């Protein structure tokens, strides 16, 4: 059996991981098995010590007796109504409130679904132009953080619980007597919060406000100040860019505002309906990021080479537009860079160059390039400043120096945890001993709060009032969706109290906004809260580039020769603020597909040099030394990792984050290099890596489900071919019959189904999907999907209904091992969301001995848990491997304490009451969010109308920032999905009406099996040149 | 005659609270045990277990009743109140539109019961009071002042009626007063308890009678046949010169011992026994978790019979979610307080609600209808969209003093209804296309089953 997938027409090679590419024997052992997961049955039988027939009978007898006894005693259940029912809360009817998710510099305007006053689900606010109606995985997961058992339940003074009055008295006393106080926070972009801090400063003039960001953009801020005289982070509009060049700016994953950028980028990548043009993305980076994975041309460069690459690009463009060149060393292979320069110039005014570097000089060069390309005013808007990353690295470094010099009497940490998430965290910890007092408003006893003398815990954002201005003139609001669960107080409320202001924060917020309203103030205020967003016009000023590029070019570092460490922010845990959220910990990283760990990513070649031997999800611990710091972390071989670099993710290695967060990974923050006066995530000197010899297992999910070497899983082509033939890249399998080869759709054993009412379907555009993973967390929240923990993932028993398969591919011919090896250094990447395909001729349905899975008249492959007896035949027969078996009882089970949404009373509040929590021993799978379908239908029936397109959508589709997933009714000719698929009604040979999909890009995965899914994939089209494809 | 008394009595118990109250001391019964009382009489009417004692009670009670009712029935005199049908009808309309918020004919609601009000006060006084009660009270009228104080100084709204209109209302009240318990009669006649419901569901009692008679006849025939055989055998054996074959027949005896020991017989018995045991085990297993008839004691003795039956309060008034939510909602005390802030404030049961509100402790009702978590049921789909009566699933709730689970709430019961019930498609655009498609295929009305009402994921997800 061929393991590598190939496609008939392109001869491309696809592989899911290096294990598959190198035909690792461990991998092959599992790949050939129908059920690769660990099965306890066989082991016991082989060992001979397992259960005997007698034991079985005993157990069965006991089981029957226990079951009947348990069933006889019906427990008395209580029905407890409200004492005074709030007028707008009806048990069983969800309410939706517009609010804003903010976590450090992560921002998302959201709509919160509440049931019986409990927030249970977060969705994007479609009215917001700042987050574009999409969500990130972190925003999706934030609802579980509300019900975190590790949150502080009361204010603390010197480690003892006190009342707020006592705390206020003590704090006021200390603040009044202090000579100098600092308020340390992440970027604050809430106008009213800033006002409350100002109030505090007015009362205590010695108070200084220090802002820092975990991942700062202070390089861009300083560069813009020197280039344009405006110290601001500009708004970027990727939707207007035809050529994008990114130097390590992971704008699709973590850079500034990935949710909006994903949407904008996807707009330029959507084809069909006559649109045959798309943007081209060049990426130059060290670690394989989401942006690199989605790039048409990706070049792996060392972090220290970035400046030189930028300078060379500057020169290439400058020479064409007649500007003077800057001094820059030559680079060895500049073909792709020159190509990028040519493309940028070709699309002048519709081009965009971005860099993730925090080096001011690199950013000045980038500004120079963008201004030569006339990007300002087109794809970059400096007037509409972004406020989510205001932190000035120098300010924070100065504060730490001052703290250690004993010049601060006290520090207020406003929702900031610099002891953990700042490079000099250890210095802050020691410096704090010199301060007389320290106050933390953290929601938990985190690394910083544990050292604070006073803890005044803040509310969760879902319990708070607030306003935000993430982008100049674009405001949004937070409103409480639940009363505070604990005796916590909003931090702004504390600031007001400490400033001696008796007004509540809500009053202050409302009065300041009322001032800007005209007409009926209450109605205007209500509208603000209902929409959650409001925009004001901003003044625009003319921008001229006055940056000194030549001196910047001189200061840009020259390429280093040693090993380089590139620290990055991943897409699940991010900066680590929400590290105690198990949904995020178990969300597979889109690139490495690993869960519950961070690791050192090493290039395949380097792994070979190190002598790293890999097993099935097994690797070795390596010790990483930078300067005088050494840590041990697992090494993970990552295709696409630039030679001479290694990567390490932030957000792990918490020591006081909570029970879920604490045991996971290593802390990368201390490695951040602040020696040059700015936060530098690339360490370019003094990095050493040694094999420790200790074995370690990293749980990776990608190779868990295999299609048994079947073809046409991914179908892709390039733009030039697509322009000639819209079905380019499509694979048309034929079935051999006695009367010749036929299309799979024309022959069938099946009678087919009639769908008189609805026919639900989904399209997944592989061109739009960036792999961000917001859909997977959304699915987990909506459908009560349990978290199983690292051990169980290692046993290949993850429960996620929706997974995103990540494929590496290359054009190297099969069998050419040298070529493949080169390809593995920097492969192409494809993301493919995979859930139950809701087959019309479902193989799972026919093999179920108890008809627990069967077909509905709306095209759904329905799963009745209570009927299931757990034979797992269905999982066996599913060609897509999307069925999940409940090996354990994951709820109310101490063994799965990490599954916090089902194992404590607080966590359980997040469960969706409309979806069953599954029991042990049953199968489960994606239901197409049938509960949402039913609710939408009922809503329409009650209003005596047909459902409107878009009213009913699945959790994954509603979470998707790039609108790659579209859910809808195929029977509705006006629905978006029908339009996208270009559905025509045809008569089949039996004279029945059938739907025919005529969109040339749409394909069924594994079409030759004729299972006739209701999910269509749209071919991936890369914007590459033909000769290179 | 006897039946008539019982029927009258039942009507009174259901419909006439004041009268009922006066009966309690006589019967040495507490008001709470009314349900038992009703059941007792129901038994008498069925002529079954009730027994002589009940009959004596009933007779005794009916005599008492006649005595109590007599004065009311002898009060027909001419008082200038019109008896014209049209006037009474217009009076009824006015009464229902304006007065029922606070008044009932036979019961104290917010204001006093208006039964025979024309006998207590003259028309002029009533007219003046209705037009402006405060004026009458301020004038120092002793009756008006007494009434005002008695009803917690609740002011009656002034009505701008014409004198004729007020007269028509009085005429309606007069007519209603004379036929006092009529309103509740149909409900009482229809009432059935759990036992009645279950017998209705089984085969008719006649079938059993016919079967028993048939069995008796068959047994008799068997006996007669056996006797004939015996007689004939005796006759043959007395005869001489019988052939060998005849001799054999004559000397033949039935060996029951051998029959009992035969494999065929033992096998048959074993089969029947096993079948019976299996059947009863399976039947028994099917009833596990089925709580039909479950009637727990509630923390507050709330009676649906009084609220839904007697006062005909719409279910939706208290169960606010029934048309818009999955849950019908158990009313929160603030709904109770809409009326009970002034009605029956002294009742110990109502006091419990006050206590709950004051102590900020929610009332912990015992949940009666427990669907398993794996089944999703939505009230609004059934009540709002399908317009199904509450009683279809909850039974005669308006007669339940203490609510019990009427339906079995098993999946078979749900499915059966989905098989038999027509979809309420009238005026609902959602179903238009489905109705059209169904009409092409079948002449039968469209059942829930026809549009996927039996599919798993309609209820299980």
Closest CA–CA distance from residue B318 to any residue of chain A (Å)? 12
Q: Are A141 and A546 in contact (CB under 8 A)?
A: no
- Of A531, A576, A490, whose CA–CA distance to A109 is shortest? A531
pLDDT for the residue A968: 94
Which of A 824-863 lie inside 8 A of B, CB atoms? 854, 856-858, 860, 862-863
Q: Residue A98 — pLDDT band, cuts 50, 70, 90?
A: very high
Q: Are A171 and A456 in contact (CB under 8 A)?
A: yes
Q: How far is CA B250 from the centre of its chain?
A: 67
Task: Identify from A71, A91, A993 which residue to disrupt to test chain B contact, counting B C-beta atoms within 10 A and taking the largest count.
Answer: A91
Q: Are A112 and B401 in contact (CB under 8 A)?
A: no
The pLDDT tens digits for B364-375 are: 999 999 888 889
Cα B300 to Cα B39, B303, B333, B347, B402, distances in angstroms = 22, 9, 12, 11, 10
pLDDT for the residue A614: 79
Domain A5-36+705-1028 has CATH 2.60.40.10: no
Contact list in A for residue B456 (CB cut-off 8 A) is 854, 856, 862-864, 867
Is a pLDDT exceeding 60 seen at residue B5?
no
Is a pLDDT exceeding 60 seen at residue B75?
no
pLDDT for the residue A418: 92
Helix A335-346 to helix A306-321 angle (10° resolution) is: 50
Handedness of CA A152, A154, A159, A165 (dihedral sign): positive
Task: Identify from B430, B439, B454 which residue to disrupt to test chain A contact, counting A C-beta atoms within 10 A and taking the largest count.
Answer: B430
pLDDT for the residue A815: 58
Is a pLDDT exceeding 50 seen at residue A997?
yes
Question: Mean pLDDT lowest for which of A232-246, B193-207, B287-301?
Answer: B193-207
pLDDT for the residue A272: 76
B236/B363 same-domain check: no
- Of A832, A817, A918, A916, whose CA–CA distance to A881 is shortest? A832
- Reading phi first (left if > 0) and then psi (alpha if -120 to 50, else beta), residue A377 is in left
Q: Are A642 and A302 in contact (CB under 8 A)?
A: yes
Q: How many CB atoms neighbour CB B32 within 10 A?
A: 12
| Interchain CB distance below 8 Å, A914 and B289 | no
Task: Identify from B329, B456, B458, B459 which residue to disrupt to test chain A contact, counting A C-beta atoms within 10 A and taking the largest count.
Answer: B456
Q: Are A134 and A262 in contact (CB under 8 A)?
A: yes
A346 vs B: CB within 8 A: no
B98/B232 same-domain check: no
pTM for this model (two decimals):
0.80
B333 vs A: CB within 8 A: yes
- Of B21, B73, B63, B20, whose CA–CA distance to B179 is shortest? B73
Cα A41 to Cα A48, A762, A769, B46, distances in angstroms = 11, 38, 40, 63
CATH of the domain spanning A230-386? 3.40.228.10
Those residues whose C-beta lies under 8 Å from the C-beta of residue B55, and which sit 6 or more positions away, are B44
> Helix, strand or coil for residue A379?
coil
B313/B449 same-domain check: yes
A941 vs B: CB within 8 A: yes
Mean pLDDT of A1-26: 59
Would residue B403 count as lying in a domain?
A: yes
B353/B418 same-domain check: yes
Is a pLDDT exceeding 70 seen at residue B55?
no
| Interchain CB distance below 8 Å, A857 and B335 | no
Numbered ranges of CATH 3.40.228.10 in chain A: 230-386
The pLDDT tens digits for A24-42 are: 766 666 666 666 666 655 4
d(CA A721, CA A1022): 10
B311/B425 same-domain check: yes
Numbered ranges of CATH 3.30.70.20 in chain A: 5-36+705-1028
Q: How far is CA A115 from the centre of its chain?
A: 25
Nearest to A90 among B325, B362, B456 (CB): B325
Is a pLDDT exceeding 60 seen at residue A165?
yes
Nearest to B370 among A77, A867, A916 (CB): A77
Cα A801 to Cα A700, A742, A786, A884, B199, distances in angstroms = 16, 34, 10, 7, 50
B313/B438 same-domain check: yes
| Residue environment code for B37-57, b if the CB has 16+ CB neighbours within 10 A, otherwise e | bbebbbbbeeeeebeeeeeeb
Q: Residue B191 — pLDDT band, cuts 50, 70, 90?
A: very low
The pLDDT tens digits for A686-714 are: 888 888 888 899 998 877 555 545 557 88
DSSP A713-749: SS-EEEHHHHHH-TTTT-----EEETTEEE-GGG--S
Is a pLDDT exceeding 90 seen at residue A584?
yes
Which of A 68-127 lie inside 8 A of B, CB atoms? 68, 71-72, 74, 76-85, 90-93
Task: Identify from A70, A85, A892 which residue to disrupt to test chain B contact, counting B C-beta atoms within 10 A and taking the largest count.
Answer: A85
Q: Of all residues in chain A, what percent carry a pLDDT higher than 70?
A: 92
The secondary structure element, H or E, covering residue A419 is helix A418-421
Mean pLDDT of A539-549: 85
d(CA A627, CA A683): 10
Is a pLDDT exceeding 70 seen at residue A476?
yes
Would residue B351 count as lying in a domain?
A: yes
Contact list in B for residue A755 (CB cut-off 8 A) is none
Contact list in A for residue B357 (CB cut-off 8 A) is 83-84
Closest CA–CA distance from residue A679 to any residue of chain B (Å)? 50
Query: Considering only the top CATH level, what class is A563-701?
Result: mainly beta
Q: Residue B164 — pLDDT band, cuts 50, 70, 90?
A: confident
The residue among B159 and A808 whose pLDDT is bigger is A808
Write A367-370 long-range contacts (CB < 8 A, 24+).
A367/A223, A367/A224, A367/A227, A367/A228, A367/A545, A367/A547, A368/A227, A368/A314, A368/A545, A368/A547, A368/A549, A368/A552, A369/A310, A369/A313, A369/A314, A369/A317, A369/A344
pLDDT for the residue A813: 60
φ and ψ at residue A406, rounded to 5 degrees: 80, 20
| Interchain CB distance below 8 Å, B451 and A756 | yes
pLDDT for the residue A67: 67
Q: State which of B188, B219, B240 marks the end of a domain.
A: B188
Would residue B296 count as lying in a domain?
A: no
Task: Identify from B316, B457, B459, B460 which residue to disrupt to test chain A contact, counting A C-beta atoms within 10 A and taking the largest count.
Answer: B457
Q: How far is CA A340 from the centre of its chain?
A: 28
Would residue B247 count as lying in a domain?
A: yes
| Interchain CB distance below 8 Å, B330 and A931 | no
Q: Are B431 and B439 in contact (CB under 8 A)?
A: no
Those residues whose C-beta lies under 8 Å from the C-beta of residue B336, and which sit 6 or more positions away, are B350, B353
φ and ψ at residue A492, rounded to 5 degrees: -60, -40
Nearest CA in chain B to A852: B456
d(CA A362, CA A379): 19
B320/B366 same-domain check: yes
| Interchain CB distance below 8 Å, B384 and A942 | yes
Q: Are B5 and B58 in contact (CB under 8 A)?
A: yes
Is a pLDDT exceeding 70 seen at residue A918?
yes
Would residue B101 count as lying in a domain?
A: yes
DSSP A275-310: B----EEEEEESS--HHHHH-SEEEE--GGGHHHHH
The residue among A61 and B297 whose pLDDT is bigger is B297
ipTM of the complex: 0.84
- Of A579, A620, A616, A578, whose CA–CA distance to A596 is shortest? A579
Handedness of CA A821, A822, A823, A826 (dihedral sign): positive
Q: In what order do the strands lie in the sheet with A95-103?
A: A95-103, A106-115, A118-124
B451/B357 same-domain check: yes
B65/B93 same-domain check: no
The residue among A573 and B260 whose pLDDT is bigger is A573
Residue with tokens 């429960």: A799
Question: Mean pLDDT lowest for which of A865-869, A904-908, B290-294?
Answer: B290-294
Q: What is the largest CA-CA distance in chain B?
A: 124
pLDDT for the residue A996: 84
B374/B453 same-domain check: yes
- Of A830, A838, A849, whose CA–CA distance to A801 is shortest? A838
B428 vs A: CB within 8 A: yes
DSSP A778-835: HHHHHTTPPP--HHHHHTT----S-EEEEEEEE-PPTT-HHHHHHHHHS-EEEEEEE-
The pLDDT tens digits for A815-858 are: 566 666 666 678 888 999 999 999 999 999 999 999 999 999 99
Mean pLDDT of A996-1018: 89
Would residue B216 count as lying in a domain?
A: yes
Mean pLDDT of B11-20: 38
> Helix, strand or coil for residue B197?
helix
pLDDT for the residue A678: 84
Q: How far is CA A660 from the centre of its chain?
A: 19
Would residue B309 count as lying in a domain?
A: yes
What is the end-to-end Cα distance of chain A in Å, rounded?
A: 27
Range of the domain at B8: 2-74
Q: Of all residues in chain A, what percent carry a pLDDT higher than 90?
A: 49
B390/B411 same-domain check: yes
Mean pLDDT of B201-229: 87
Contact list in B for residue A930 (CB cut-off 8 A) is 457, 461
Is a pLDDT exceeding 70 seen at residue A626?
yes
| Mean model confidence pLDDT for chain A | 87
Q: State which of B21, B39, B74 marks the end of a domain.
A: B74
- Burial class of residue A348 in the structure, from the number of CB atoms within 10 Å of its CB (0-12 exposed, 13-18 middle, 19+ buried): middle
Q: How many domains is chain B partitioned into structurally?
A: 4
Q: Tell me B331's DSSP state.
A: P
The pLDDT tens digits for A454-469 are: 999 999 999 999 999 9
Q: Residue B404 — pLDDT band, cuts 50, 70, 90?
A: very high
Q: Where are the alpha helices (DSSP H) in A11-163?
A: 18-21, 25-31, 40-47, 53-72, 137-146
Strands (E), B281-404: 365-366
Closest CA–CA distance from residue B30 to any residue of chain A (Å)? 27
Q: Are A382 and A367 in contact (CB under 8 A)?
A: no
Numbered ranges of CATH 2.40.40.20 in chain A: 563-701
Closest CA–CA distance from residue B328 to any residue of chain A (Å)? 9
The pLDDT tens digits for A373-423 are: 989 888 999 888 999 998 888 889 999 999 999 889 999 999 999 999 998
B453/B396 same-domain check: yes
Those residues whose C-beta lies under 8 Å from the C-beta of residue A191, and which sit 6 or more positions away, are A467, A468, A469, A475, A512
Assign residue B144 the CATH number of its domain. 1.10.760.10
| Mean model confidence pLDDT for chain B | 76
Is a pLDDT exceeding 50 seen at residue B54?
no
Would residue B147 count as lying in a domain?
A: yes
DSSP A328-371: ----S--HHHHHHHHHHHHTTTSEEEEE----HHHHHHHHHHHH
Q: Residue A440 — pLDDT band, cuts 50, 70, 90?
A: very high
């Amino acid at each position: 059996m061929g393991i590598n997938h190939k496609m008939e027409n392109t001869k491309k090679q696809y592989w899911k991981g290096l294990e598959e590419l190198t035909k690792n024997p461990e991998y092959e052992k599992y790949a050939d098995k129908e059920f690769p997961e660990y099965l306890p049955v066989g082991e016991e039988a082989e060992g001979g010590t397992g259960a005997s027939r007698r034991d079985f009978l005993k157990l069965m007898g006991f089981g029957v007796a226990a079951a009947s006894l348990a069933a006889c005693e019906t427990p008395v259940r209580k029905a407890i109504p409200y004492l005074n029912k709030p007028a707008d809360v009806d048990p069983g009817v969800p309410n939706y409130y517009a609010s804003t998710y903010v976590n450090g510099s992560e921002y998302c305007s959201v709509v919160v679904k509440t049931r019986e006053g409990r927030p249970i689900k977060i969705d994007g606010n479609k009215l917001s132009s700042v987050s574009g109606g999409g969500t990130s995985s972190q925003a999706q997961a934030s609802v579980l953080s509300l019900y975190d058992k590790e949150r502080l339940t009361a204010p603390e003074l010197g480690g003892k619980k006190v009342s707020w009055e006592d705390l206020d008295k003590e704090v006021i006393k200390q603040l009044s007597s202090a000579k100098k106080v600092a308020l340390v926070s992440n970027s604050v972009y809430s106008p009213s919060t800033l006002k409350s801090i100002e109030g505090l400063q007015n009362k205590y003039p010695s108070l200084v406000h220090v802002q820092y960001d975990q991942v700062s953009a202070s390089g861009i801020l300083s560069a813009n100040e020197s280039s344009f005289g405006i110290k601001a982070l500009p708004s970027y509009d990727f939707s207007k860019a035809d050529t994008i060049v990114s130097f390590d700016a992971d704008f699709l994953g973590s850079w500034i505002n990935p949710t909006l950028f994903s949407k904008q980028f996807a707009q330029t990548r959507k084809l069909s309906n006559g649109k045959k043009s798309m943007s081209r993305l060049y990426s130059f980076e060290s670690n394989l990021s989401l942006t690199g994975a989605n790039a048409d041309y990706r070049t792996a460069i060392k972090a220290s080479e970035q400046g030189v690459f930028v300078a060379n690009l500057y020169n290439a463009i400058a020479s064409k537009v007649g500007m003077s060149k800057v001094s820059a060393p030559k680079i060895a292979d500049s073909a792709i860079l020159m190509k990028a320069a040519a493309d940028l110039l070709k699309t002048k005014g519709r081009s965009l160059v971005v860099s993730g570097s925090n080096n001011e000089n690199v950013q000045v060069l980038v500004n120079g390039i963008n201004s030569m390309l006339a990007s300002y005013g087109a794809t970059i808007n400096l007037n509409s400043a972004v406020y989510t990353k205001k932190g000035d690295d120098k300010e924070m470094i100065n504060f730490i120096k001052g703290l250690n010099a004993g010049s601060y009497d006290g520090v207020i940490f406003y929702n900031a945890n610099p002891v953990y998430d700042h490079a000099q965290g250890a210095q802050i910890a020691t410096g704090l001993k010199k301060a007389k007092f320290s106050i933390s408003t953290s929601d938990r006893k985190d690394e910083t709060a544990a050292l604070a003398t006073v803890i005044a815990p803040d509310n969760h954002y879902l319990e708070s009032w607030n306003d935000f201005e993430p982008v100049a003139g674009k405001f949004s609001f937070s409103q409480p969706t639940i009363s505070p669960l604990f005796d916590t107080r909003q931090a702004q409320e504390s600031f007001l109290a400490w400033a001696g202001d008796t007004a509540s924060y809500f009053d202050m917020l409302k009065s300041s906004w009322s001032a800007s309203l005209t007409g009926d103030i209450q109605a205007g205020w209500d509208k603000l809260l209902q929409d959650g967003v409001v925009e004001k016009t901003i003044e625009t000023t003319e921008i001229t580039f006055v940056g000194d590029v030549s001196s910047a070019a001189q200061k840009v570092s020259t390429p280093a020769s040693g090993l380089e460490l590139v620290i990055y922010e991943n897409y699940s845990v991010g900066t680590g603020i929400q590290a105690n959220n198990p949904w995020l910990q178990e969300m597979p990283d889109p690139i490495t597909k690993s869960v519950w760990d961070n690791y050192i990513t090493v290039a395949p070649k380097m792994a070979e040099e190190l002598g790293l031997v890999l097993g099935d999800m097994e690797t070795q611990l390596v010790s990483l030394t930078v300067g005088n710091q050494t840590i041990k972390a697992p090494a993970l071989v990552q295709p696409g990792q630039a030679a001479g670099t290694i990567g390490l993710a932030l957000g792990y290695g918490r020591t006081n984050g909570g029970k879920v967060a604490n045991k996971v990974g290593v802390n990368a923050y201390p490695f951040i290099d602040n020696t040059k006066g700015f936060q530098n995530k690339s360490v370019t000197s003094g990095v050493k890596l040694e094999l420790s010899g200790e074995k370690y297992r990293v749980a990776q999910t990608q190779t868990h489900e295999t299609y048994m070497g079947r073809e046409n899983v991914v179908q892709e082509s390039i733009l030039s071919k697509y322009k000639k033939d819209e079905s380019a890249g499509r694979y048309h399998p034929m079935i051999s019959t006695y009367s010749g080869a036929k299309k799979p759709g024309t022959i069938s054993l099946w009678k087919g189904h009639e769908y008189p009412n609805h026919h639900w379907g989904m399209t997944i555009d592989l061109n739009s999907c960036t792999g961000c993973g917001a859909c997977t967390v959304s699915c987990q929240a909506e459908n009560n999907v349990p978290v199983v923990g690292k051990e169980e993932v290692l046993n290949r028993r993850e429960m996620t209904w929706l997974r995103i398969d990540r494929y590496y591919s290359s054009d190297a011919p099969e069998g050419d091992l040298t070529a493949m090896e080169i390809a593995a250094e920097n492969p192409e990447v494809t993301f493919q969301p995979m859930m139950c395909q809701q087959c019309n001729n479902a193989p799972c349905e026919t093999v179920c001995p108890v008809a627990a899975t069967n077909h509905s008249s709306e095209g759904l492959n329905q799963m009745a848990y209570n009927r299931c007896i757990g034979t797992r035949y269905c999982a066996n027969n599913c060609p897509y491997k999307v069925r999940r078996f409940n090996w354990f009882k994951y709820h109310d089970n101490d063994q799965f304490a990490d599954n916090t949404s089902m194992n404590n009373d607080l966590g359980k509040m997040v469960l969706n009451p409309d979806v069953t929590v599954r029991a042990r021993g049953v199968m489960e799978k994606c239901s197409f969010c049938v509960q949402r379908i039913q609710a939408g239908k009922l809503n329409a029936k009650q209003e005596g109308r047909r459902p409107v397109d878009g009213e009913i959508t699945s959790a994954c589709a509603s979470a998707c920032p790039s609108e790659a997933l579209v859910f809808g009714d195929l029977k509705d000719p006006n629905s978006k999905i029908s339009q996208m698929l270009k559905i025509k009604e045809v008569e089949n040979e039996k004279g029945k009406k059938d739907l025919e999909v005529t969109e040339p890009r749409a394909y069924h995965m594994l079409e030759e099996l004729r299972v006739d899914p209701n999910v269509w994939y749209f071919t991936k089209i890369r914007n590459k040149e033909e000769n290179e494809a | 005659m006897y039946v008539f008394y019982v029927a009258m009595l039942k009507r009174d118990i259901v419909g006439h609270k004041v009268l009922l109250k006066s009966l309690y001391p006589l019967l040495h019964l507490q008001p709470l045990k009314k349900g038992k009382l009703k059941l007792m009489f129901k038994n008498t009417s069925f002529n079954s277990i009730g027994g002589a004692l009940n009959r004596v009670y009933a007779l005794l009670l009916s005599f008492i009743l006649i005595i109590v009712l007599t004065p009311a029935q002898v009060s027909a005199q001419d008082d200038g109140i019109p008896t014209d049908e049209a006037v009474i009808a217009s009076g009824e309309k006015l009464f229902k539109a304006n007065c029922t918020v606070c008044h009932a004919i036979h019961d104290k609601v917010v204001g006093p019961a208006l039964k025979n009000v024309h006998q207590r006060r003259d028309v002029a006084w009533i007219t003046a009071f209705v037009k402006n009660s405060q004026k009458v009270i301020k004038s120092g009228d002793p009756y008006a002042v007494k009434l005002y104080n008695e009803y917690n100084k609740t002011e009656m709204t002034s009505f701008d009626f014409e004198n004729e209109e007020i007269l028509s209302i009085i005429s309606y009240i007069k007519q209603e007063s004379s036929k006092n318990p009529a309103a509740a009669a149909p409900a009482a006649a229809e009432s059935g308890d759990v036992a009645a419901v279950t017998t209705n569901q089984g085969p008719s009692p006649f079938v059993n009678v016919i079967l028993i008679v048939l069995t008796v006849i068959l047994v008799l025939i068997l006996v007669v046949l056996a006797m004939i055989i015996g007689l004939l055998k005796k006759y043959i054996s007395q005869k001489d010169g019988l052939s060998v074959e005849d001799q054999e027949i004559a000397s033949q005896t039935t060996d029951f011992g051998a029959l009992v020991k035969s494999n065929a017989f033992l096998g048959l018995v074993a089969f029947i026994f096993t079948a019976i045991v299996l059947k009863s085990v399976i039947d028994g297993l099917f009833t596990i978790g089925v709580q039909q008839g479950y009637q727990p004691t509630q923390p507050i003795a709330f009676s649906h019979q009084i609220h839904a039956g007697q006062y005909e309060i719409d279910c939706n008034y208290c169960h606010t979610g029934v048309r818009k939510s999955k849950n019908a909602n158990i009313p929160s005390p603030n709904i109770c307080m809409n009326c009970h802030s002034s009605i029956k404030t002294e009742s110990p049961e109502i006091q419990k609600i006050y206590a709950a509100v004051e102590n900020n402790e929610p009332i912990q009702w015992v949940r009666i209808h427990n669907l398993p978590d794996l089944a999703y049921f939505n009230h609004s789909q059934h009540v709002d969209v399908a317009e199904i009566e509450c009683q279809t699933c909850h039974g005669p709730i308006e007669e339940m003093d203490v609510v019990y689970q009427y339906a079995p709430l098993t999946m078979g019961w749900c499915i059966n209804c989905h098989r038999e019930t027509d979809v309420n498609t009238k005026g609902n655009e959602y179903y238009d296309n489905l109705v059209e498609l169904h009409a092409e295929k079948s002449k039968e009305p469209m059942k829930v089953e026809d549009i996927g009402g039996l599919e798993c994921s309609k209820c299980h997800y």
